Chain A
Amino acid sequence: MTWLVSVFVFWAAAFWLNRQLAKPPVDQQRWARIAVPVIFGITILVVWEGLVRGLNVSPIILPPPTAIAAKFAASTDILWKDFVQTVIKGALSGYLIGCAAAFVTAILVDRSLFLQRGLLPIGNFVAALPIVGIAPILVKWYGFGWESKSAVVVVMVFFPVLINTVQGLRDTTAMQRDLMQTYAASYWQSLFKLRLPAAMPFIFNGLKIGTTLALIGAIVAEYFGSPIYGMGFRIQSEAGRLSLDMVWAEIAVAALSGSVFYGLVALMEKLVTFWHPSQRS
């Protein structure tokens, strides 16, 4: 009971604090913008911990955050090995290959309006398909190692990046292109100096969508066969053994690497497209 009461008191206090922080003029401050979501996140963790302890929830249904943190700290070597296998070898390599392939394809298609018209709707359609389903096929083709995971990721990130790049390359006005023509710019000059920079917000949109897809692809592919390490393998086997604290620790790693991956791409976007209205605010 004391747990439940203290959870409620903590929640009420945090809520009150956040309300104060969200009032103008405080909410315009940079620190307040960071503090509010952080307080919200901490509150969720505290409520989670308190409810699990207060209601005596069995650890095979929901372990408390402290137990997960303890497990995390105790098994960093396993987590690191899984992280390297799944994120670095599987997801990252596939992501780089897939994005590069999509980018090159977009440039090749760029000269033909005919191909663009055909590719855009189909690419849009394929991007909406459950492509993860090809994971078992690719695992069969390329074996249990990280290569098959990488192949799944390549296919998954290819289409979102492709359609966004093709769309971005069309995002210049006739006036701008005419200006390049009056400068006697060649195709490649106007591509590099005008159209590619103008396409960057779109391309980064595709790249950002790709970051999540890459992790999903790499993890799902491991469910269909992997060496005895890797995040997907660990999650599945530990969930089978009902050691949910380890599963949650892996999920924490997945969430953390997903957020960092996304954050890095977003940071790059900020550096590259500093001129765009959405970045200047």
Chain B
Amino acid sequence: MKSVFPILTVVAAIIAIWYAGAVWMNSQWTLDQARRAGVELTLPEIIRDTMNQERATLPAPHQVVAEIWKTTAEKKITSKRSLIFHSWITLHATLWGFALGALIGLTLAIFIVYSRVMDMSVMPWAIISQTVPIVAIAPMIIVVMSSMGIQERLVPKAIIAAYLCYFPILVGMVKGLRSPDAMQLDLMKTYNASNRQSFWKLRLPSSMPYLFTSMKIGIAAALVGTIVGELPTGALRGLGARILIGDQFGPPIRIWSALIMASILAGGLVAIVGLIQRITLKRMGMNQ
């Protein structure tokens, strides 16, 4: 609670900078128009004009809020102009990608923890795989998928999302599954516990805090992956597609509203994972 006031201050500062930027960047257009019309503008007039341009270089915050309100609350959810509809498309692909990535990350982590060969051979490549800019692969995945006859846009997006989110989960879970110390593992051994038993009763439970922390990073990464998957590929639906279409045809404010919507989505997803984390850890008695 101590940090609520500071956070609000910083948010207010960001909004103030945004407004200042809007005035600064949009005033050029205002001044050009005025010069053409041969009118002298006073400062308040310039500022008023920069706040309400239809194709502003940098739309002011209240314009973005109005646009979001217009495209969420005042449109039917099924409408192609509804941001909620596009958010749902993106969310859908994000969740599939996250599920796939979490599965891959978890499986690899278990193999790596139990097999020295896997540890030595896979781990370096997993790290290298993250230095490959995935966006380089995105257009190709789409092309390949369509030449293989898979027209569903969901699949390539989910693959890209999974590629981005498996790594944090892999790293987190390797750390988590190795977090029991030698003493605890020895105790399991004196109980004559099998590998499987010590996995379910010791390693997996003690990895839970790590799992949730890495899942928070993972789900945010999955959303980034989905949007990146929509950007360069000519998708027609989804938040990334809104950004793309806003770039090519529509007013820039569409890009901004889609970006803000994506941020809200990211915040919501991370918050949900955080909530599940809190409940689970509490029930497991691991709450600090």
A198 CB-CB contact with B under 8 Å: no
- Closest chain A CB from B172 CB (angstroms): 15
Please state if A220 and B135 are interface contacts (CB–CB under 8 Å).
yes
Please state if A231 and B136 are interface contacts (CB–CB under 8 Å).
yes
Please state if B136 and A40 are interface contacts (CB–CB under 8 Å).
no
Please state if B121 and A18 are interface contacts (CB–CB under 8 Å).
yes
Residue of A133, A211, A236, A255 with most chain B CB atoms under a 10 A cut-off: A133
A27 CB-CB contact with B under 8 Å: yes
**What is the interface of chain A, defined by CB distance below 8 A to chain B?**
15, 18-19, 21-23, 27, 32-33, 36-37, 39-41, 58, 60-62, 114-119, 121-122, 125, 128-130, 132-137, 139-141, 211-212, 215-216, 219-220, 223-224, 231-232, 235-236, 239-240, 242, 244, 247-248, 250-251, 254-255, 258-259, 261-262
Instruction: Answer whether A244 and B140 are a contact pair too, CB < 8 Å, given A132-B224, A258-B133.
Output: yes
Q: Which of B14, B120, B125, B132 contacts A41 (CB 8 A)?
A: B125
B286 CB-CB contact with A under 8 Å: no
Please state if A235 and B140 are interface contacts (CB–CB under 8 Å).
yes
- Closest chain A CB from B286 CB (angstroms): 22
Instruction: Answer whether A121 and B140 are a contact pair too, CB < 8 Å, given A132-B224, A216-B134.
Output: no
Count of interface residues, chain B, beta-carbon cutoff 8 Å: 60
- Closest chain A CB from B241 CB (angstroms): 11
Residues of chain B with a CB closer than 8 A to A261's CB: 131
Q: Which of A22, A58, A135 contacts B116 (CB 8 A)?
A: A22
Please state if A118 and B10 are interface contacts (CB–CB under 8 Å).
yes
**What is the interface of chain B, defined by CB distance below 8 A to chain A?**
2-3, 6-11, 14, 25, 57, 116-117, 119-125, 128, 130-137, 139-140, 142-144, 147-148, 217, 220, 223-224, 227-228, 231-232, 239-240, 243-244, 246-247, 252, 255-256, 258-259, 262-263, 266-267, 270
Please state if B120 and A130 are interface contacts (CB–CB under 8 Å).
no
CA distance in complex: A58, B227 (Å): 29
Please state if B247 and A224 are interface contacts (CB–CB under 8 Å).
yes
Q: With contacts defined as CB atoms under 8 Å apart, how many contacts are there between chain A and chain B in the complex? A: 174
Instruction: Answer whether A251 and B137 are a contact pair too, CB < 8 Å, given A236-B232, A244-B144.
Output: yes
Please state if B227 and A122 are interface contacts (CB–CB under 8 Å).
no
- Closest chain A CB from B245 CB (angstroms): 10
A-B contact pairs, 6 of them (CB 8 A): A36-B117, A40-B121, A61-B147, A215-B131, A247-B140, A254-B136
Besides A121-B7, A132-B227, 16 other A-B contacts (C-beta < 8 A): A19-B117, A115-B6, A115-B10, A117-B7, A119-B10, A122-B14, A128-B220, A136-B255, A137-B255, A141-B25, A212-B130, A235-B139, A251-B132, A254-B132, A254-B133, A255-B132
Residues of chain A with a CB closer than 8 A to B130's CB: 212
Instruction: Answer whether A239 and B139 are a contact pair too, CB < 8 Å, given A140-B247, A212-B131.
Output: yes
Q: Which of B25, B116, B220, B255 contacts A27 (CB 8 A)?
A: B116
Residues of chain B with a CB closer than 8 A to A211's CB: 131
Please state if A258 and B131 are interface contacts (CB–CB under 8 Å).
yes
- Closest chain B CB from A173 CB (angstroms): 20
Please state if A223 and B231 are interface contacts (CB–CB under 8 Å).
yes
Please state if A220 and B244 are interface contacts (CB–CB under 8 Å).
no
- Closest chain A CB from B267 CB (angstroms): 6
CA distance in complex: A111, B74 (Å): 46
